[in-house]
Amino acid sequence: MPRGLVDGIDLGRFKRGLTYDLSTSTGNLLLAERWAEPVDDDEPALVIPFSQLDRHRVLVVEDDADFCEIVTQALRYHGFTVVAAHDGAEGLAALKQHRPSLVVLDLNLPRMSGKQFREAQLRLADRKLAEVPVIVVSARDDAVEQAHKIGAAEAMQKPVDLDRLVGTVHRRLGRSNTSR
C-alpha cells in the first residue's frame, strides 16, 4: 500500500480502481513502484488497479524456461506479482531492483549458482534484502540439505507439486490460500 507524502500528496488517500490526474513526480513514483498503471498513451492520468496494491512480489530464479513460466503463471493466478530471472546473476540484480517479499530459487543455475546467489544475498548491506526469505525448488538429490546449509526458509524437490508451492508461498507471506 502506498504510504508517505509526494509533492505534498498523502499517498494513503488513493483508492483502488479510481483514476487520478497527477503531477509528473507523483505519477512516476506510482508507476515505478507498480502502484498504478497509465490509463492510455494519450492521457496523463493513472489508474490504481484493484489487485495491485495488495500483491506481494515474488522473485522466481529459474533457468528452465518452461518450469519458470509454469511457476510464474501459478503464482500470478493466485494474486502475486512475479518477477522472473533466468540465472543467479540476473536474479541478484532483480532482487535489488524489484525488492520482492520472497524468492523461489533453483540451485543449479548458470553464471551464478543458487548457493552463490544466496551467499551474495546474505552479504548485501541492505538488511531488508538480505533477509528476504528463500524457498529452494531444485531437482538435486540433496536439495533439502543444501537449502538448510544456505539458510533457506523451505525446500522442495522437483518435480514439485504446484499447489504445495503456492500454499507455501501464501503461508510464508502470511496470506490466506483462499485470497483469490
**Over the stretch 87-146, which tens digit does the pLDDT of each residue have?**
999 999 999 998 999 999 999 999 999 999 999 999 999 999 999 999 999 999 999 999
Phi, psi of 31 (to 5 degrees): -70, -45
Q: Looking at 7-86, which runs of residues are DSSP E strands?
A: 9-10, 19-20, 37-38, 46-47, 57-61, 81-85
Cell of 175: 496470506
Summarised one tens digit per residue, pLDDT across range 146-177 is: 999 999 999 999 999 999 999 999 999 886 55
Q: Domains (ranges, CATH) in the chain?
A: 5-52 (no CATH), 55-172 (3.40.50.2300)
Tell me which residue of 123, 132, 165, 158 sits closest to 56, measured CA to CA. Answer: 132
* The pTM of the whole model exceeds 0.85: no
Give me the pLDDT at residue 172, please: 92
